[in-house]
Structure 1
């Protein structure tokens, strides 16, 4: 079956906002009386805001009301937005523009699949809001990764089957989401971490569209 679409996560694939998430979550944890490390922050990659907050509160041994949790999640997001609102096209990861140029030349469709509700703002800040044929973000889904909803909705909007899609992800939860959605998955990062991915590369900078198509074209 031919590959017709590439679906991309945002954080860690197109841009790296992990440091901004970490700074905002750490500020929140500090205000609650404990700290989180960069290593701990790895557990939050690809995870929704609500689920991330639950993980942090469990780490700090805190049990809070839903109303208080909503308050804290909103506060964290405000701090995060202050940081990402300063982003520019300089924040696009190396190799991304060239890879997307190859995608267009190959005639493939593209979708963004991000659990972030701030994805539209980030895309606007970096000048990539008109690059995707479909944008599925946290405002359009009810389940975060590793649930496949963000990617299956992307395929549906592009009117292609999951078997015709390749997902590009840097997080374990995202790789699992792509696989559970019945799609091929390219993991961007370490093969020791992204063990479920069908193909692993350090970043989009080290890949070509032809390599990806050669790997998956005609499988299944």
Structure 2
């Protein structure tokens, strides 16, 4: 039986992806690098600094900025984002998530946050989900962001569970790849065309029930 569940945040607990897009779009306009939603797909699940690098690479302008200016741009984007999300509340938690968290807690399963967002603690507070999380992986304390496994390995470590004993839940391909590399069992939320066909996928978070997680975990270890 699995001992822990590692949750991504954006697109799993709530929909902050739209605000990230708007914040990156606003920053892009200010520095003369327009972006659209198609380009924004590359940024999902990716850390702030790595997203900024992708934005600058798009216009072949990475070499124009020193480290201090890069940090200023990243901070500027985050300030836009924070202003946009300040009204998020418990009513914005995705369908099925609160029930799942209650079920996991009731069965003694540890829960940890594995988000690339440095605003994870803030968002958990706004959503009133703090009490359900036994650990939060700090993206500042890892060497590499998604699709490397570091954030999921840290999330598992923070709840004293091996990654191989955990289920990871993601909605972005970079996150799915990170879960797979960590040794945890991935469950995707979205479409096979976007996440691949080598994992279990549900169309919406409403399908993420405790019984569903248990059945997929048991399927993984069935002897053929």
TM above 0.5: yes
Alignment map for 1:133-148 (pairs within 5 Å): 133-148=134-149
Contact kept in structure 1, 2:96 and 2:209, CA below 8 Å: no
What's the counterpart of residue 44 of structure 1?
43
What's the counterpart of residue 58 of structure 2?
59
Which stretch shows the higher mean deviation, 136-145 or 160-169? 136-145
How many equivalent pairs are there?
219
What's the counterpart of residue 185 of structure 1?
186
Q: CA–CA distance in 2 between the matches of 1:196 and 1:120?
A: 32
What's the counterpart of residue 84 of structure 1?
85
Contact kept in structure 2, 1:7 and 1:113, CA below 8 Å: yes
What's the counterpart of residue 215 of structure 1?
216
Pairwise CA distance, 1:61: 2.9
Task: Deviation per CA, 1:74-104: give whole Å up to 9, x if none.
Answer: 1111111111222111211111111212222
What stretches of structure 1 of length at least 5 have no aligned partner? none
Q: What SS class does the counterpart of residue 12 from structure 1 fall into?
A: coil
Pairwise CA distance, 1:8: 0.3
Pairwise CA distance, 1:202: 1.2
Pairwise CA distance, 1:197: 4.8
Contact kept in structure 2, 1:53 and 1:73, CA below 8 Å: yes
TM-score, structure 2 length as denominator?
0.92
Moved over 4 A (4+): none
TM-score, structure 1 length as denominator?
0.94
Task: Deviation per CA, 1:127-169: give whole Å up to 9, x if none.
Answer: 1122101111323323211111111112122222222100000
Structure (1 or 2) with the greater helix fraction: 2
What's the counterpart of residue 165 of structure 1?
166
Alignment map for 1:101-112 (pairs within 5 Å): 101-112=102-113
